[in-house]
Chain A
Amino acid sequence: MTKTVRRICQIIFLAFFLVLILITAYPFEHNLATDFFVQLSPLVALGASIASRTLIWEAISFSLIIIVLSIILGRVFCGWICPLGTTLDISDVLFFQNRRKKASNSPRKIKYYILSGLFMTALFSTQAIYLLDPMCLFTRTVVLAFIAPVQMMLKWLNELGTAWSSGTFEPTIWLGTKISSFLGMRPFISNTQVYFRSSLIVFAIFATIIGLNSISRRFWCRNLCPLGALLGLFSLSPILKRKVGIKCNECSRCTTDCKMDAIPKTPRLTQATECIVCFDCVEICPQNTVSFGIRLKSERHKETALDISRRHVLQGAGIGLAFAALVKVDPARKLAINGEMPIKLSSDTLIRPPGSVAEDKFIARCVRCGMCMKACPTNGLQPAFHEAGIEGFWTPILMPRIGYCQEDCNICGSICPTNAIEPFGTAEKKHIFIGTACIDRSKCIAWYADKKCLVCDEHCSYKAIYWKVVDGNNRPFVNEKKCVGCGICEAKCPIQPSAAIRVFSYGDKRHMTRDEQKTWSEN
């Protein structure tokens, strides 16, 4: 009974999680906190806050719910809420049921060592939480590795459908309108195909996590998940405890069946830091003697205390320190703090979304959840590969050739869970400088081939392109004072494959405060 309730609860949270990601789409009129799940993770809140030396209250306040919940009820988040945990449970039923091995001694302490390493990197202001925090990891997987390929498949279906009916019936439009009218929102599956870089890598990581289930159930949650470790620390002695009655004949069904390996040695004991309160042991007990109840003190506390090795924790921290040091000797770094102004120049195509904080803080705050990339209406926000150095892997960059920064859109700022992209207004965009356009006269057909073009001028929303008659023809120029680097000119330039007008990151004003940016643009 309780197990059924738990399962329903899990499904609801997973669905809620997916819906929140899907409705993070342009135009963002509902103003729902779609970054809710990422903000629920205390690991994200603490890690990003420590790494960037800023208290990110938005994220902290949400994650407090989970911390309080863990102190009272134990790791219920893992058992009842976590969408990745639910996915692992589902995949277990689907793929691994008959191949399940007997519960083995799990190397479950690893996750604490990982956690200590992650905190160490954060202390040295490097963001590594993104790699392993389940909320970031799973959000990113859905955004980068599921939405785009699912859409691609829908597109194939659509083409099949059109070829078959040879009419104007559009299954994707049809499906999108149906779902959106159901939700009362605009189609989140747009008919325009989206593309993301490194989708395959993201998928491979996710597939590995699923595949580890073949070793033991919830292998990831048991042994690797750093968020699980953190929540375990909060639930050293929760108020809600597992009770085993006197009828227990030590048949050990619960020990073998526990998906978290939280019932060690004898069925009468429970490792509170590992128990995810799934109620499986309550259901399965042949004697019906297992229950969960409120108890303030546990006489068995000592036997089940967290037995992590101090040496390994230090080793984990050492690896974290090495990680932090190694990514900070990336050559991109040296250029970044060259001179007095902390201007990043790791790559001239490193164009950050508007509202992004200064580069160092940005890298420390961004948890690479991918929500901004999901929300970007033009698909221009892409995970960085090498542009921001190793440290900035998967952080969002604007690639104007794929999509530009749309004038009336401010979603990326509104939904960033850690405020790496600070919220901004659409009117404010006139003085948020993210780069500068530059015309390559040897490629521009209005310059070298005397053709009538000026598509860049036609599309520019900020009046930053002007033209003058040179040698009897209209030729485009860029007014660098007005160009904010939105990239619409590069996106629409008819020259193939790379545009004759390109946006580079020079001229961005991220090292200035918002007020300074405004004053700069008005002068």
Chain B
Amino acid sequence: MENKYSRREFLRRAGIVGASTCGFLLAGDELLDILEEAKAARQPTLSIASKGSPEHLVKKAIDGLGGIRKFVKKGSKVLIKPNLAWIRTPETAANTNPQVLAGIIKLCKAAGASSITVFDHSCDNGPAAFKASGAAKVASDLGVQLISGHSRSLYKKINIPKGKILKSDECAKLILDADCFINVPIAKVHGGAGITASLKNMMGTNWNRQAWHQNGLDQCIADYSTAVKPDLIILDAVRILLTRGPKGPGETKDVGQVIASTDPVAIDAYAATLLGKEPSSIGHITAAAAHGLGQINLKKVTIKKV
């Protein structure tokens, strides 16, 4: 019988099989990651929910990303960071909508979170801002802790190895200790930073904000985000503030959307378009994109409308 393969051919094939087996054994984890990424690529980056009550929008938006259980495992410690910076009522759109906040808390509860804490380091008097924004009522109704970050002892020093300007900072311990950190910004224009959404909202988790302004605000915002990353971002665009941001009172617009994502740059780029701005014109978004924190070009972003 004639040999099916020549010796050379056999050796060649055996070599390929052997090498790929060895390669797989050696680099299996990375390959799995690549597979995972390929799978993730099919997942939407932005899940945009419109039409419905704010609580309903939250659920729809998160379901678009694969459901809350993907982020909040049973028994995990959840920290929610809304934007409750100002002593302003919900109508002025200066703080995160309390119903959006309520929606998230309810979902986390349903997912079996062991503890849920809402935290913000307000610009105004913390408790007063919590009360005016409606968050205090939501928290007490749903029985979750609401903590104001006005004490330095609540913060812990962190290193920011990738930071260009910020090499270290003080971040709220609660965020570092949480199993799941959910950032819940509201979309607003901002006198200093251009817009405020996910990346800028992170400023309310650190202690010394003034230093950021002195050292270069945009780069500091981006640097900080390389070290402290939310697991999930829910952008409140139910009503957005178009002028006199971030404190208002200014012109508002009822957009009626809630956007869920894990990509802070993409979600901010989208928020910028909602506010009538070009994402690339916002310094901290471009700086974050340069850090590789996400996709700034909305054309390359998978958007799922639900």
The residues of A with any CB-CB pair to B shorter than 8 Å are 26-27, 158-159, 162, 168, 170, 173, 186, 191-192, 377-378, 406-408, 445, 451-455, 457-461, 463, 467, 474, 492, 494-496
- The answer to whether A494 and B153 touch across the interface, beta carbons within 8 angstroms, is no
- The answer to whether B174 and A27 touch across the interface, beta carbons within 8 angstroms, is no
Could you tell me which residues of chain B, from 213 to 227, have a CB within 8 Å of some CB in chain A? 213-214, 216-218
**Residues A459 and B132 in contact in the complex (CB < 8 Å), given A408-B87, A451-B214:** no
- The answer to whether B151 and A494 touch across the interface, beta carbons within 8 angstroms, is no
Bound state CA distance, A408 and B193, in angstroms?
A: 26
Extra inter-chain contacts (10) besides given A26-B125, A452-B192, A454-B191, CB under 8 Å: A27-B131, A406-B87, A406-B125, A406-B128, A451-B213, A457-B191, A458-B191, A458-B246, A492-B123, A496-B210
- The answer to whether A453 and B128 touch across the interface, beta carbons within 8 angstroms, is no
- The answer to whether A457 and B173 touch across the interface, beta carbons within 8 angstroms, is no
Cβ of A401 to closest chain B Cβ, rounded Å: 13
Of chain A, the residue at the smallest CB distance from B153 is A162
Of chain B, the residue at the smallest CB distance from A466 is B191
Q: Is B278 an interface residue (CB 8 A)?
A: no
- The answer to whether A408 and B132 touch across the interface, beta carbons within 8 angstroms, is yes
**B247: contacting residue among A158, A451, A460, CB under 8 A:** A460
Complex contacts, B174 vs chain A, CB 8 Å: 168
Q: Is B112 an interface residue (CB 8 A)?
A: no
Q: Is B253 an interface residue (CB 8 A)?
A: no
- The answer to whether A445 and B213 touch across the interface, beta carbons within 8 angstroms, is yes
- The answer to whether B125 and A377 touch across the interface, beta carbons within 8 angstroms, is yes
Bound state CA distance, A461 and B154, in angstroms?
A: 28
A-B contact pairs, 19 of them (CB 8 A): A158-B153, A159-B153, A168-B173, A173-B151, A192-B150, A377-B125, A406-B128, A408-B132, A445-B214, A451-B216, A454-B191, A457-B192, A458-B191, A459-B123, A461-B247, A494-B210, A494-B213, A495-B214, A496-B210
Q: Is B283 an interface residue (CB 8 A)?
A: yes
Of chain A, the residue at the smallest CB distance from B132 is A408
The residues of B with any CB-CB pair to A shorter than 8 Å are 87, 123-125, 127-128, 131-132, 150-151, 153-154, 173-174, 190-193, 210-211, 213-214, 216-218, 244, 246-247, 283
Cβ of B92 to closest chain A Cβ, rounded Å: 11
Complex contacts, A407 vs chain B, CB 8 Å: 87
- The answer to whether A191 and B128 touch across the interface, beta carbons within 8 angstroms, is no
Complex contacts, A26 vs chain B, CB 8 Å: 125, 128
- The answer to whether A453 and B150 touch across the interface, beta carbons within 8 angstroms, is no
Complex contacts, A445 vs chain B, CB 8 Å: 213-214
Cβ of A338 to closest chain B Cβ, rounded Å: 38
Bound state CA distance, A454 and B246, in angstroms?
A: 11
**For chain A, what secondary structure do more than half of its interface residues adopt (helix, strand, loop), or is it mixed?**
loop
Bound state CA distance, A173 and B153, in angstroms?
A: 11
Complex contacts, A461 vs chain B, CB 8 Å: 247
Cβ of B244 to closest chain A Cβ, rounded Å: 6
- The answer to whether A494 and B214 touch across the interface, beta carbons within 8 angstroms, is yes
Complex contacts, A191 vs chain B, CB 8 Å: 150-151
Residue picked from B128, B131, B151, B193, most chain A C-beta under 10 Å: B151
Complex contacts, A378 vs chain B, CB 8 Å: 125
**B192: contacting residue among A168, A453, A460, CB under 8 A:** A453
Bound state CA distance, A406 and B190, in angstroms?
A: 21
Bound state CA distance, A162 and B192, in angstroms?
A: 36
- The answer to whether A467 and B191 touch across the interface, beta carbons within 8 angstroms, is yes
- The answer to whether B217 and A170 touch across the interface, beta carbons within 8 angstroms, is no
Cβ of B166 to closest chain A Cβ, rounded Å: 15
Complex contacts, B132 vs chain A, CB 8 Å: 408
Bound state CA distance, A495 and B211, in angstroms?
A: 9
Cβ of B69 to closest chain A Cβ, rounded Å: 27
- The answer to whether B125 and A168 touch across the interface, beta carbons within 8 angstroms, is no
Q: Which 3 A-B pairs have the closest CB atoms?
A: A494-B210, A454-B192, A457-B191
- The answer to whether B247 and A408 touch across the interface, beta carbons within 8 angstroms, is no
Complex contacts, A496 vs chain B, CB 8 Å: 210
- The answer to whether B151 and A408 touch across the interface, beta carbons within 8 angstroms, is no
Complex contacts, A168 vs chain B, CB 8 Å: 154, 173-174
Cβ of A475 to closest chain B Cβ, rounded Å: 12
Bound state CA distance, A192 and B128, in angstroms?
A: 14
- The answer to whether A452 and B217 touch across the interface, beta carbons within 8 angstroms, is yes
Complex contacts, B153 vs chain A, CB 8 Å: 158-159, 162, 170
Complex contacts, A495 vs chain B, CB 8 Å: 214
Bound state CA distance, A158 and B152, in angstroms?
A: 11
- The answer to whether B87 and A453 touch across the interface, beta carbons within 8 angstroms, is no
- The answer to whether B217 and A453 touch across the interface, beta carbons within 8 angstroms, is yes
Residue picked from B123, B125, B174, B244, most chain A C-beta under 10 Å: B125
Of chain A, the residue at the smallest CB distance from B148 is A191
Cβ of A286 to closest chain B Cβ, rounded Å: 60
Residue picked from A158, A170, A408, A458, most chain B C-beta under 10 Å: A458
Bound state CA distance, A377 and B126, in angstroms?
A: 11
Bound state CA distance, A295 and B7, in angstroms?
A: 136
**Residues A452 and B218 in contact in the complex (CB < 8 Å), given A186-B127, A192-B151:** yes
Complex contacts, B246 vs chain A, CB 8 Å: 458
Bound state CA distance, A354 and B123, in angstroms?
A: 22
Bound state CA distance, A170 and B148, in angstroms?
A: 12
- The answer to whether A455 and B213 touch across the interface, beta carbons within 8 angstroms, is yes
Complex contacts, A474 vs chain B, CB 8 Å: 191-192
Complex contacts, A159 vs chain B, CB 8 Å: 153
- The answer to whether B128 and A452 touch across the interface, beta carbons within 8 angstroms, is no
**B283: contacting residue among A158, A162, A406, A452, CB under 8 A:** A452
